[in-house]
Amino acid sequence: MSFCNISEFPSNLRTLENLEYLDLSNNKIQGRILKSESRGIKNLDYLNLSQNFLTYIEDHPWRDIRTLDLSNNMLQGSLFDPPPICNLSSLEYLSLSNNNLYGRIPQCFGNMGVVMLHLQKNNLHGSIPDTFANGSSLVSLDLSGNELEGRLPRSLGNCSQLEVMNVGNNKISDIFPYWFGTLWNLKVIVLRSNKFYGPIQDSKTLFHFSNLQILDLSHNEFKSFLPRNLFENLGAMMLISNNESDVRYIGDDYYKDSVVVTMKGRDIEMTRILTIFTSIDLSHNNFEGKIPEILGNFKSLIVLNLAHNSLTGNIPSSLGNSIALESLDLSSNKLGGRIPVQLESLTFLSLLNLSHNQLSGPIPQGGQFETFESDYFIRNKGLCGRPLPTKCNNDPRPQLPPAFSEGEDDNSSEFDWKIAMMGYGSGVVIGLSIGYIVFSTGKPRWLVRMVEARVQNIVRRTGR
C-alpha cells in the first residue's frame, strides 16, 4: 500500500492477525498510531512506515518482527518511550533515521543481533554503547548526524561482518581507529566532521582495508604525514573490474545504505552506494608533507580530496595513472612546482581544483584542461596560461644542439662538419657571383636603386 495517498492508519488492518508483510511507506499518515490500532496485527515480520508524518507509536505489539522501518517521519521522544525496542528480540533491520528522537542509545542495541542499525539524523547524545559482542551479526551501522560524544567503542572490533561504519557529523573525540583494520569486510568508513585527532601512524595491528572503497576522514584534527601504510592496503581502489555482473549496490543483500560524499565541490547524498564507487576524502585536517606517489596506483579511484591541509612538495606525476579519477581537489595547501602534464591523460576528470597553492609554470592545455575554469587555478602566483589571464613568456634561451654521447662515431661527426663547410663555401661563392652580376648589369633595377639610396643616406650622416 505504498504511494496510495493514505492519510491515516487503515482501521481494517486490525483483524488481519496472520498478516506478515505490510508496506505503508510514502503516504500521508499523520499523528499517532495507538495501541488499539496496531494490537490486532501481532504477527508482522516486515513493517515499513517510512516517509510519512508520524509523531508517536504507542506500542510495538509485533514481538517477532524482523524488519522495522520508521525512517523519515516526525517521531519524537526517547528511544525508551514508547516501550523499548529492546523487547523486539527477533529484530534484524531497524531504521529510525530522519526523525526528532533524543536521548541515549540503549545498551541493548549492542547485543540484539541486528544486521542493520540506522539512527542517523536525530538528536541522540551520550556515547555509543560498548556492548557489541563477539560473533555480532552487525553489517551496517549509521549513527551520523547526531550529538554523540566520547570515543568509538572498541567492541565494534568484534563485528567481523561489518561493511558500513558511518559516525559522521557528531562530536566524537578519539584517535584513528586503527583496529578497524581487522575487519576484513569493511567497505565504508565515514568519520567526517568530528573531533578525531593525532597522526595516523603504524600500529601493532596491520592494516587490512583491502575491501575499503570509501574513506572519509574530512573535517577533523588529524595531523602529521599522509598514512602511506594505510594506502598500501587499499586493494579495492587499485583494481578495475571488467565484469558487469559485479556492478551492484552495497546493501543489496540486506538493505540500502546512503552516504554523503564531497564530490566536484559539492556535498552529494548518495541514496544508494554502487560497489564500484571509490572515494578518499582527507580534506580539512592538518596533514603535512608530500603526497605519496602510491596514489597513482589507484586505478579505480573516482574522488580524491586532499584540500585544506598543509601539504608540500610537487604534485606527483603518477596521479596521471589514476585513470578513473573524476574529481581531484588539492586546493588550499602549500604545493609547489609545475602541474604535471601527465594529468592531461585523465579523460574522466571533470573537476581539478589546484587553487590557493604555490604552483608555477604553464598550465597544461590538453585533455580536460580545456574545460576547466580559472577559479580552479587562482592564488598561484607563478601559474600562467589559459584559463588564467596571465600569459606565459616565451623562453628566450636558444635551443642548443644535443650533446654527443661518448659512444658516437667520430667519423660520422667529421663527415657532418665537412658537409656544413661545403655548404658554407658554396653559399659564399654563389652570393658573390650574384652580387657581381647585379651591379655589373644594373639589373634588377629596383635592387640597385635600393642599395644606392641606402649608401647615400649613410654618406650624408657621416659627412663624408
- pLDDT tens string 213-254: 999 999 999 999 998 888 888 888 998 765 555 667 777 666
2-6, 187-191, 213-217: which has the minimum mean pLDDT? 2-6
Could you tell me which residue, 58 or 279, shows the higher pLDDT? 279
- pLDDT tens string 5-51: 888 888 787 778 888 898 999 999 888 877 766 666 778 889 899 99
The pTM of this model reads: 0.80
- pLDDT tens string 79-100: 766 567 777 878 889 999 999 9
Domains of the chain: 1-103 (3.80.10.10), 175-394 (3.80.10.10), 425-464 (no CATH)
Q: Give the pLDDT of residue 80.
A: 67
- pLDDT tens string 310-350: 999 999 999 999 999 999 999 999 999 999 999 999 999 99
SS3 labels along the chain: CCCCCCCCCCHHHCCCCCCCEEECCCCCCEEEECHHHHCCCCCCCEEECCCCEEEEECCCCCCCCCEEECCCCCCEEECCCCCCHHHCCCCCEEECCCCEEEECCCHHHHHCCCCEEECCCCEEEECCCCCCCCCCCCCEEECCCCEECCCCCHHHHHCCCCCEEECCCCCCCCCCCHHHHHCCCCCEEECCCCCCEEECCCCCCCCCCCCCCEEECCCCEEEEECCHHHHCCCHHHCCCCCCHHHCCECCCCCCCCCEEEEECCEEEEECCCECCCCEEECCCCEEEECCCHHHHHCCCCCEEECCCCEECCECCHHHHHCCCCCEEECCCCCCEECCCHHHHHCCCCCEEECCCCEEEEECCCCHHHHHCCHHHCCCCCEEECCCCCCCCCCCCCCCCCCCCCCCCCHHHHHHHHHHHHHHHHHHHHHHHHHHHHHHHHCCCHHHHHHHHHHHHHHHHHHCC
Mean pLDDT of 277-284: 94
